[in-house]
Amino acid sequence: MAVLFVLFITALALADGVLLTYFVTAKAPLPARLCCGAVVGLAALAWLSFLVALIAGMSAAAVVIVAAILMVGTLVLLRLAPRDQIRAEIKAVSLDPWGMAYYVAWGALLTWLFSRVVVFTEEGMRTAPANNYGDLPFHFSVITSFAFGENLPPHNPIFAGPRFAYPFLIDFLTAFFRRAGADWPAAFFIENIVLGLALVGVIELMAMRLVRNRLAARLTPLLFFFNGGFGFYYAFRDLGEAQAGWFDFLSKLPRTYTMSDELHLRWGNIFTTLLIPQRSLLFGLPMAAMIITLWWMAISEMGREGEGARGRQSDRATGDSIPPSPPHPLTLSPPRRYLLAAGILAGILPLMHAHGFFALMLASGGLALLFWSRDWAAFFIPALALAAPQALYLSRTQVRGKLFEWHWGWEAGEMSIPLFWLINAGAFLVLLIIALLAKRFVEPRARRFYLPFILCFLVPNAVLLAPWPWDNIKVLVYWYLASCPFVAAVLAHLWSRRAAIWRLTSIVLLLTLTLSGALDVTRALSPVEDVLLFGRAELEVAELIRQRTPPRALILNAPIHNSVVALTGRQSLMGYPGHLWTHGFDYKDRQNDVEAIYRGGPRAAELLASYGVDYVVVGPIERGQFLANDNFFAAQYPAVIDQDGYRVYQIKR
């Protein structure tokens, strides 16, 4: 029943999101409207639940307040929305067997992938793909700090002291679902599947608007999600050296083929290295696809004479036949209306995905110069006004002193930069250049529209945008998002020539662009990448810590990525150095102090007092790697938990 309540809240949010789209564009195919509305609805739910929780706390009252606001919003929007247009769009929906099969296939794949993110077995909690093994415990620390640790306003859950300058809203939404009654698998799965399916739809919509080709629009999500370079060459080589057949080989792929230092492969697959492990992209990517679409719609309308021409152009762009709509609820001209909506979406983005906001603002400046109009004020004013407080909040981070240092070639290292990109995205880059230079594939205005997005490729190849250079991919991925429709247009054009040689060329090129990514996704779905994240003992001890310690307790634990403290919502004195380093923290002194505390003695007591530690966890890792002195802690402090090889000592009485 609790999960049904969460689904009810989600349905209200989606209804509000879909109804809001009628105030942006009066005409749109219903499936596209549903996908855009799903993103808008969950984004609104994340922001609403966060703002309510800041006042009421993460409590049952906050959940009820959010549900009530959503219900009132639905009723108000239903009253204001053009109901005749809604009925007309529903009637205009036609059954497209190929389209239905296309989305059923995507739904099955996404369900399979996302259902493996959190799985409970007799052994404990398991996860897949393997990249989640490193990233998911950090997200658990964030989520549980909101759900069970009264972490509002947010402080850093893995490094006591600094504020939490991180785009946390996707994790906050998971925490909200958890407090609303969902268990862990459902709390992750609901938002993942909704945003994942919506992302497929908004990418298709974006491509359809830009290149006006249905086949290209359907190919664009394939190119985007199954991205990869020439790693498949090594897969064929590994298959030749393997003793098993191809089926056994595919079920137990020996390595990944989009990410490998040994093979100089760093252009990781979107699914396995970004979308699932780095969860904030679940908001960032669909929001960016919608903003890009709105920009293009606004630019297409600029300078046109008369509302009739605008309406006819809109129909041609979508390829759908919908009866004439009534006057739009907003009196703004279409360009300003589209740019206003894009500005609001961009303005709420920093706490959802900060790198996405940076990438979009980088491109928006170039677009405003290339397609200058006073209408752009409708974008920049709300975008900057809404984003400014978030940017100020996020700027209080240790990372800021390490940004924008020169770092040529992204992850090329000592390798030639052209050769590096040839290995990682060579075929894609060649087809992109062809699409931009040849007139037959894309109209000139669309090619001109694309030019500012090249900055999202050049800047990450020139400077550091994060302490870890590989994290520049968080901006590169937005260049790739904007580029995929143009490459898909080339493939669709080759297919449309009907001659067998051209169609074969199109198929071969598509396989070249997607095979490496498909191999990595296959590996992610196999038992090879199904890993144990927390054992049964860790789950039980974490639950005891939640029961026997106050929510705001500060706990000392071994700085490992999957400590039991990650599941408790309590703040850790120091978390995993790998996470801290990528967030820009200078943690060396604290790490030395942690090691000194575990060794025991007079200095340990002084350090515990100076840091204000409430509890100390002594478990197998603390004893094995940090030589924890159980005798010291047992003699000085009472043990509030003693189970399965773990002891939790209470430092403050």
538-550, pLDDT tens digit by residue?
A: 999 999 999 999 9
SS3 (DSSP) at 571: strand
Q: Is 416 domain-assigned?
A: yes
What confidence score (pLDDT) does residue 332 get?
85
What confidence score (pLDDT) does residue 28 get?
86
What confidence score (pLDDT) does residue 50 get?
98
User: Do both 475 and 409 map to the same domain?
Assistant: yes
Q: Is 546 domain-assigned?
A: yes
The predicted model gives 363-376 an average pLDDT of 97
CA distance 46 to 30: 24
Q: Is 515 domain-assigned?
A: yes
The predicted model gives 566-570 an average pLDDT of 98
Return the amino acid letter for 350: P
Q: Which of 290-299, 329-338, 428-437 has the lowest mean pLDDT?
A: 329-338
* Dihedral sign from CA coordinates of 219, 221, 227, 233: negative
Q: Is the pLDDT of residue 115 over 60?
A: yes
What confidence score (pLDDT) does residue 163 get?
86
SS3 (DSSP) at 534: strand
Q: Phi then psi for 317, rounded to 5 degrees? A: -65, -35
What confidence score (pLDDT) does residue 244 get?
82
Q: Is 134 domain-assigned?
A: no
pLDDT digits (tens, 9 = 90+) for 182-230: 999 999 999 999 999 999 999 999 999 999 999 999 999 999 999 999 9
What pLDDT band is residue 417 in, cutting at 50, 70 and 90?
very high
The predicted model gives 502-518 an average pLDDT of 97
User: Do both 486 and 499 map to the same domain?
Assistant: yes
pTM summary value:
0.95
What mean pLDDT is reported for the chain? 93
Interhelix angle 377-395/354-370, nearest 10 degrees: 150
Q: Is 10 domain-assigned?
A: no
The predicted model gives 60-85 an average pLDDT of 95
Of 468, 494, 529, the residue at which a domain comes to its end is 529
What confidence score (pLDDT) does residue 426 get?
87
Q: Is 629 domain-assigned?
A: yes
Q: Is 509 domain-assigned?
A: yes
CA distances to 205, 229, 258, 414 from 419, in Å: 34, 12, 16, 11
Q: Which parts of 26-126 fold into alpha helices (H)?
A: 30-56, 60-80, 83-92, 97-114
The predicted model gives 452-481 an average pLDDT of 96
Q: Is 347 domain-assigned?
A: no
Provide the CATH number for the domain around residue 633. Answer: 3.40.50
Q: Is the pLDDT of residue 315 over 90?
A: no
Give the residue among 190, 185, 193, 154 at the shortest CA–CA distance from 172: 154
What confidence score (pLDDT) does residue 647 get?
98
What confidence score (pLDDT) does residue 584 get?
86
Domain span including residue 493: 227-239+405-529
Q: Which of 43-52, 242-251, 286-295 has the lowest mean pLDDT?
A: 242-251
| pLDDT above 90: percentage of residues in the chain | 87
| pLDDT above 70: percentage of residues in the chain | 95
CA distance 575 to 164: 14
Report how many domains make up the chain: 2
Q: SS3 sequence, 74-86?
A: HHHHHHHCCHHHH
What pLDDT band is residue 2 in, cutting at 50, 70 and 90?
confident
Q: Which of 46-50, 82-86, 430-434, 611-615 has the lowest mean pLDDT?
A: 82-86
Of 529, 553, 581, the residue at which a domain comes to its end is 529
What pLDDT band is residue 533 in, cutting at 50, 70 and 90?
very high
The predicted model gives 450-461 an average pLDDT of 98
What pLDDT band is residue 304 in, cutting at 50, 70 and 90?
low
What pLDDT band is residue 396 in, cutting at 50, 70 and 90?
confident
Q: Who wins on pLDDT, 557 or 402? A: 557
The predicted model gives 457-482 an average pLDDT of 96
Return the amino acid letter for 532: L
User: In the chain, how long is the greatest CA-to-CA distance?
Assistant: 84
User: Do both 461 and 570 map to the same domain?
Assistant: no
What confidence score (pLDDT) does residue 313 get?
43
Strands 615-618 and 554-556: parallel
User: Do both 416 and 519 map to the same domain?
Assistant: yes
Q: Is the pLDDT of residue 159 over 90?
A: yes
Of 529, 555, 587, the residue at which a domain comes to its end is 529
Contact between 309 and 302 (Cβ < 8 Å): no
User: Do both 491 and 523 map to the same domain?
Assistant: yes
CA distance 566 to 137: 6
CA distance 588 to 43: 37
User: Do both 554 and 601 map to the same domain?
Assistant: yes
CA distances to 111, 259, 528 from 524, in Å: 13, 13, 7
User: Do both 507 and 545 map to the same domain?
Assistant: no
What confidence score (pLDDT) does residue 498 get?
83
